[in-house]
């Protein structure tokens, strides 16, 4: 596999109360089955055949762990989109992007995203349907985007396949700001798109295609075959659920 990978592990302004409550300064250092979350993510990427891995983070224990894992360290930008922009400059494309709190990340999901991306797509993003997520982890609480083809949740897995993917950075920042208010994103694409979404006539892929055309790229949805791909660790309830799931699997 020729793609490089970026793991977003930026520090939130004011710190992370969830991580600090567990006695560590960053979520990436929370241990799950005796292994820090960042190590689990890097291990999955290595298992998918990714040779060059960079971690976007501040100097300190996360950077030290990244280096110990054989990853490069890139200074974080002012927000995830800026960090991705820096990584594109440093690593080029194709570039896979994920997050350090993707506790259950599996190599097969990475391969599924990359292999499921059309050759002509500049950017692809993996999302999972609500029914798949709830089958995989009953009772989990997620933020869902409602479209004509169902309710979807992000998997923190993005594939920037061509240099034109850089055009999406500014839009990424906009999506970051409005990610829990998809109607605002649709409104930015014009009244026709907003009306289609509000009337339940817009599929997720159609929405991505319209967004891509707006910024001059080809954007594609890759639907996750495993609903667990949408599970990350943002709070104690997430960590408890993931630990219970791993205990049942054992």
Q: Is the pLDDT higher at 82 or at 6?
A: 6
How sure is the predictor about 176, in pLDDT bands with cuts at 50, 70 and 90?
low
Average pLDDT of the residues in 221-225: 96
Q: Say what the pLDDT of residue 93 is.
A: 95
Please state whether 139 falls in left (phi above 0), alpha (psi between -120 and 50) or beta: left
Average pLDDT of the residues in 92-117: 96
How sure is the predictor about 195, in pLDDT bands with cuts at 50, 70 and 90?
very low
Average pLDDT of the residues in 60-71: 96
Q: Say what the pLDDT of residue 194 is.
A: 45
CA angle (223 as vertex; 235, 192 as ends), nearest 5: 95
Q: Say what the pLDDT of residue 70 is.
A: 96
Share of the chain above pLDDT 70, in %: 87
d(CA 217, CA 194): 20
Please state whether 141 falls in left (phi above 0), alpha (psi between -120 and 50) or beta: beta
Instruction: Give the pairing type, strands 53-57 and 4-8.
Output: parallel
Q: Which tokens sit at 172?
A: 């990424």
Q: What is the pLDDT of residues 25-46, one digit of tens each?
A: 999 999 999 999 999 999 999 9
Buried b (16+ CB within 10 A) or exposed e, 218-239: bbbbbbbebbbbbbbbeeeebb
How sure is the predictor about 211, in pLDDT bands with cuts at 50, 70 and 90?
confident
Q: Which tokens sit at 211?
A: 């967004």
Q: What is the pLDDT of residues 118-137, one digit of tens each?
A: 999 999 999 999 999 999 98
Average pLDDT of the residues in 224-240: 92
Q: Which tokens sit at 57?
A: 């983070």
Per-residue pLDDT at 187 exceeds 70: no
Instruction: Give the pairing type, strands 150-160 and 123-129.
Output: antiparallel
Alpha helices in the chain (DSSP H): 17-21, 37-47, 61-68, 80-91, 107-115, 130-136, 169-178, 182-188, 191-198, 204-215, 236-249
Q: Say what the pLDDT of residue 235 is.
A: 87
Share of the chain above pLDDT 90, in %: 56
Mean pLDDT of the chain, nearest integer: 86
Q: Say what the pLDDT of residue 69 is.
A: 97
Average pLDDT of the residues in 45-49: 96
Instruction: Give the pairing type, strands 35-36 and 95-99.
Output: unpaired
How sure is the predictor about 143, in pLDDT bands with cuts at 50, 70 and 90?
confident
Per-residue pLDDT at 200 exceeds 70: no
Give yes or no for a contact between 163 and 102, defined as CB atoms under 8 angstroms apart: no
Per-residue pLDDT at 99 exceeds 80: yes
Per-residue pLDDT at 199 exceeds 50: no
């Amino acid at each position: 596999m020729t793609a490089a990978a970026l793991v977003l592990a930026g520090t939130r302004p004011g710190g992370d109360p969830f991580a600090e409550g567990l006695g560590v300064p960053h979520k990436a250092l929370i241990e799950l089955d005796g292994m820090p979350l960042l190590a689990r993510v890097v291990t999955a990427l290595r298992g998918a055949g990714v040779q060059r891995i960079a971690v976007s983070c501040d100097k300190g224990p996360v950077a030290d762990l990244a280096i110990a894992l054989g990853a490069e360290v890139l200074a974080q930008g002012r927000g995830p989109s800026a960090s991705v922009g820096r990584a594109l400059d440093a690593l080029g494309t194709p570039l896979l992007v994920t997050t350090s709190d993707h506790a259950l990340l599996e190599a097969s999901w990475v391969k599924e995203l990359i292999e499921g991306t059309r050759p002509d797509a500049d950017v692809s993003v993996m999302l999972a349907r609500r029914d798949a997520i709830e089958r995989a982890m009953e009772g989990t609480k997620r933020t869902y985007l409602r479209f004509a083809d169902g309710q979807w949740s992000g998997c923190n897995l993005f594939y920037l396949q061509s240099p034109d993917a850089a055009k999406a950075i500014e839009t990424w920042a906009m999506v970051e700001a409005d990610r829990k208010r998809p109607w605002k994103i649709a409104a930015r694409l014009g009244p026709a798109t907003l009306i289609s979404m509000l009337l339940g006539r817009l599929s997720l892929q159609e929405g991505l295609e319209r967004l891509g055309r707006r910024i001059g790229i080809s954007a594609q949805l890759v639907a996750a075959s495993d609903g667990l791909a949408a599970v990350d660790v943002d709070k104690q309830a997430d960590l408890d659920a993931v630990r219970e799931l791993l205990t049942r699997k054992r």
